[in-house]
Amino acid sequence: MTVPALTIENLSVEFATDRGSLRAVDGVSLSVAPGRTLAVVGESGSGKSVSALAVMGLLPGSARVGGHIALDGEDLLALPPEALRARRGGAMAMIFQEPMTSLNPAFTAGEQVAEALRVHRGLAPAAAFAEAVAMLERVRIPDAARRARQYPHQLSGGMRQRVMIAIALACRPRLLLADEPTTALDVTVQAQILALLGQLKRETGTAVVLITHDLGVVADHAEDVAVMYAGRVVERASAATLFARPEHPYTVGLLGAAPRLTGGEGRLASIEGTVPDMRNPPPGCRFAPRCPFAITRCVAEPPPLAEVAPGHMTACWRAPLAQVLGAA
């Protein structure tokens, strides 16, 4: 078993709001090994992006963060701000959904990649720019030398996201956090970007956390999956296991809610109701109010994330779900 690049233990993030405090992440534990992709799946408000921002130390000062986050064994939450800043863009990097707002419109693509190389690897300006062009070639930007001298508005959405990836990977990070990196892109460009991320991961051995709402993306591009709901991890497994034998009712519903290309039975499985108000979450299992399998215990007592099969964890009092089918 390889040593994980990233280990998150019992992470919690709490925000003070004018209507009381809100615990956006509540006891999340995750780990990613080098050269592997962990997909974190969930809908808006599930806490997946907040968890990633906590790893990067990019949450606003008002956020109260608890638990442990270790990058290659080093406790990130204990680092002083300057040291954390050095890790950011160095040992770990993050790319976001909207490359236009992440890039600086006043600098060329090449200058922005070169900046990372100067700051984190101490390269001289000319050497940094030459290396930046090489990085843009590496992310398969055609005619990279010319593109390096262009500004973000002169590039297409797909090309901008390639520039972001080049910046993120410029310093050979141990960990790459990708938050919905292709959600703003067209489907043919999405396929290019995800294929590129996979190739670069295999070449560099970087550990990747891929945050997405798209289960198809997970199936194609991740080895491991964590499903989040209302601030908690509700299921963790290899991607193959999760799709073949999901053991959390939320995962089951989510898999049925996405319409299939091959058509299929009339109505989609739909999870009735909406996600809970996180200022006042249900006391037991947070999915219980929407779960067709919920029993009294689910409403009263939060289920722990427990192993249901080797390497397969689920937080459900009704697991394994075979008993639900047996009773039906």
Partner 1 sequence: MTPLLELDDVEKHFPVRDALGRSRGAVRAVDGVSLSVPEGGVLAIVGESGCGKSTLGRVALRLIEPDRGAIRFQGEDLRRLSGAALRARRRDMQIIFQDPFASLDPRMTVEDAVAEPLILHGTVPRARIRDRVAEMLVRVGLRPELARRWPHEFSGGQRQRIAIARALASGPKLVIGDEPVSALDVSVQAQVVNLLQDLIRDLGLTFILISHDLGVVRHIADRVAVMYLGRIVEEGPAPEVFANPRHPYTRALLAAVPGQGTAAPPLEGDVPSPISPPPGCRFHTRCPHAAARCSAEVPLLLGAGHRAACHFADTLPPAAPLREADPGGERLRRLQAFFRPPPAQTGAMP
| Residue ranges that bind partner 1, judged by CB under 8 A | 43-44, 156, 158-159, 186-192, 194-195, 198, 213-217, 219-221, 240, 243-246, 249, 252-272, 274-275, 292-293, 321-322, 324-325, 328
3-class state of residue 271 by DSSP: coil
Residue type, 111: E
**Residue 111 or residue 214: which is nearer to partner 1 going by CB?**
214
**Residue 8 or residue 294: which is nearer to partner 1 going by CB?**
294
Give 189's contacts (C-beta < 8 A, 6+ positions apart). Answer: 156, 157, 158, 182
- Angstrom distances, CA of residue 189 to CA of 138, 158, 180, 182, 325: 17, 6, 14, 8, 41
**Residue 58 or residue 191: which is nearer to partner 1 going by CB?**
191
**Which residues, in sequence order, are bridge partners of residue 211?**
40, 179
Cα(193)–Cα(159) distance, integer angstroms = 9
**Residue 128 or residue 321: which is nearer to partner 1 going by CB?**
321
Cα(52)–Cα(28) distance, integer angstroms = 11
**Which residues, in sequence order, are bridge partners of residue 179?**
211
The continuous run of DSSP H or E covering 193 comes out as: helix 187-204
**Residue 21 or residue 274: which is nearer to partner 1 going by CB?**
274
Cα(282)–Cα(278) distance, integer angstroms = 9
**Residue 116 or residue 275: which is nearer to partner 1 going by CB?**
275
Smallest Cα–Cα separation from 12: which of 50, 39, 42? 50
- Helix, strand, coil percentages in the chain from 3-state DSSP, rounded to 5: 40, 25, 40
Cα-based angle 302, 274, 95 (whole degrees, multiple of 5): 85
**Residue 264 or residue 311: which is nearer to partner 1 going by CB?**
264
| Minimum separation from the CB atom of position 82 to partner 1 (A) | 38
**Residue 10 or residue 270: which is nearer to partner 1 going by CB?**
270
Cα(285)–Cα(306) distance, integer angstroms = 14
Q: Which residue has the tokens 């043919």?
A: 188
| Minimum separation from the CB atom of position 9 to partner 1 (A) | 28
Residue type, 47: G
